[in-house]
Amino acid sequence: MLTPLHKRLLNDYQRDFPLSPTPYQDIALELGVSESEVLAALSELKAKDVITRIGPVIPPNRIGASTLAAIAVLDTELEAVAQIISGYPEVNHNYEREHHFNLWFVVIAANTQHLAQVLADIELQTGYPVMSLPLLDDYFIDLSFKLDLQND
């Protein structure tokens, strides 16, 4: 069950998260609660898998270099290869798709040379060639939305 504080945190801070040295204290002041209550509520939301992280959404290639990548992996090796790929700190996420290229992932690196090095290393470690699909056109998708949490 979501508390009123959970609901406010989920709805009010998808955008315009305070950019200050003390963002959680700033939120607490705005909501009339303590900083420790804000932190505890966010921890509860994470523990319940309601949220996965708190952080910025930075447009691709504004900081560093990135690419969408895909591999055609034998079904029997899919989980093992996904674990190898997930071990790279440069990999944002990976997921299975029903396609010849059945394992897709996003790689973000400090620069294009580092990105190429990571992709080459993934090929070496997995034994599969990586298809890199760099961004050609940028389309912004606003991922925030108003949650209807009145009947919780």
Per-residue pLDDT of the chain (152 residues; tens, 9 = 90+): 889 999 999 989 888 899 999 999 999 999 999 999 999 999 999 999 888 888 876 666 677 899 999 999 999 999 999 999 999 999 988 999 999 999 999 999 999 999 999 999 999 999 999 999 988 776 666 666 677 666 55
**Does 149 map to a domain?**
no
- Residue 56 domain-assigned (yes or no): no
Q: 69 with 9, same domain?
A: no
* Assigned token pair, 77: 């090796």
Report yes or no on 58 lying in a domain. no
pLDDT at residue 57, rounded to an integer: 67
- Evaluate whether residue 18 is within a structural domain: yes
Q: Is residue 23 part of a domain?
A: yes
Strand partners, 132: 69
| Sheet strands side by side (includes 91-96) | 91-96, 103-109, 65-71, 131-133
Q: Are residues 78 and 108 in the same domain?
A: yes
What's the structural domain count of the chain?
2
129 shares a domain with 78: yes
The domain that holds 82 is classified in CATH as: 3.30.70.3460
DSSP 58: -
**DSSP symbols for 10-44:** HHHTSS----SS-HHHHHHHHHTS-HHHHHHHHHH
Structural domain for 16, as ranges: 4-47
141 lies in a domain?
Answer: no
Question: Which residues are within 8 A (CB) of 29 and not within 5 positions of it... i.e. 6 or more apart?
Answer: none
Give yes or no: residues 114 and 71 share one domain.
Answer: yes
Residue 135: predicted pLDDT: 80
Give, to the nearest 10 degrees, the angle between helix 23-31 and helix 4-12. Answer: 120
What confidence score (pLDDT) does residue 1 get? Answer: 83
Residue 64: what pLDDT? 84
Q: CA 62, 63, 68: angle at the middle one, nearest 5?
A: 75
Spatial distance between the Cα atoms of 43 and 51, rounded to a whole number of angstroms: 9
